[in-house]
């Protein structure tokens, strides 16, 4: 596991490259924010996480497998990863940041451009309304392909007044 990196992964580099060439400026691995988001688009107030399907156990993804050896260790590790992800997203939301999760499988060649078009639309919307909206807004979209889902903030987080 020593060769597993948490920064500058291929999927993250692909997203950053696309964003930069389409005019979106960002900060990477912002340590001042909870969870050190992979990409932070400051003017849109959006924190982007590029998650590996294996490490973060993307639901329904064939890459989200549990190794057959030492199952208890891996199950506990994946559960802790999921709990940490939820804590980080809640912390960012409490600070007024939108969160966006892009899964590794959504960056494969067949769906890469579609994924990035959705990301661009979300960032544009957030950037256009960032100055007038103090509360974080959930991003949700309907996909005609069940294999292609982009995770965004949960809608139920906004039902209760804080």
Q: Per residue in 16-68, pLDDT tens?
A: 999 999 999 999 988 999 999 999 999 899 999 999 999 999 999 999 999 99
pLDDT digits (tens, 9 = 90+) for 89-113: 999 999 999 999 999 999 999 899 9
Instruction: Using alpha carbons, list the distances in angstroms from residue 151 to 39, 53, 131.
Output: 15, 12, 24
- 138 band by pLDDT with thresholds 50, 70 and 90: low
pLDDT, residue 26, reads: 93
Residue spans of alpha helices (H) in the chain: 10-21, 71-94, 112-129
The larger pLDDT score, comparing residue 159 to residue 64, is at 64
**Tokens in use for 6?**
């948490």
Q: Which domains does the chain have, with CATH numbers?
A: 37-156 (3.40.960.10)
**Residue 27: per-residue pLDDT:** 94
Please determine, for residue 143, whether its predicted confidence score (pLDDT) is greater than 90: no
Query: Quick check: helix, strand or coil at residue 35?
Result: coil
Q: Give how far Cα 105 sits from Cα of 17, 18, 32, 59, 102, Å.
A: 17, 16, 28, 11, 9
In angstroms and rounded to an integer, the radius of gyration of the C-alpha atoms of the chain is: 16
Residue with more model confidence, 113 or 128: 113
Q: Rounded to whole angstroms, how far apart are CA atoms 99 and 46?
A: 6
State how far the Cα of 114 lies from the Cα of 116, in Å rounded to an integer.
Answer: 5
CB 135 within 8 A of CB 158: yes
What tens digit of pLDDT does each residue of 73-94 get?
999 999 999 999 999 999 999 9
């Amino acid at each position: 596991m020593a060769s597993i990196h948490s920064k500058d992964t291929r999927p993250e580099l692909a997203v950053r490259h696309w964003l930069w060439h389409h005019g979106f400026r960002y900060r990477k691995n912002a340590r001042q924010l909870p969870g050190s988001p992979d990409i932070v688009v400051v003017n849109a107030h959006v924190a982007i996480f590029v998650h590996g399907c294996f490490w973060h156990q993307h639901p329904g993804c064939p890459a989200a497998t549990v190794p057959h050896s030492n199952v208890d260790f891996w199950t506990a590790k994946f559960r802790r990863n999921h709990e940490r992800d939820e804590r980080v997203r809640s912390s960012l939301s409490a600070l007024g940041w939108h969160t966006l999760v892009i899964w590794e499988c959504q960056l494969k060649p067949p769906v890469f451009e579609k994924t990035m078009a959705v990301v661009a639309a979300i960032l544009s919307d957030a950037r256009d309304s960032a100055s007038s909206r103090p509360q974080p807004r959930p991003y949700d979209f309907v996909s005609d392909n069940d294999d292609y889902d982009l995770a965004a903030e949960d809608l139920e987080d906004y039902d209760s007044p804080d």
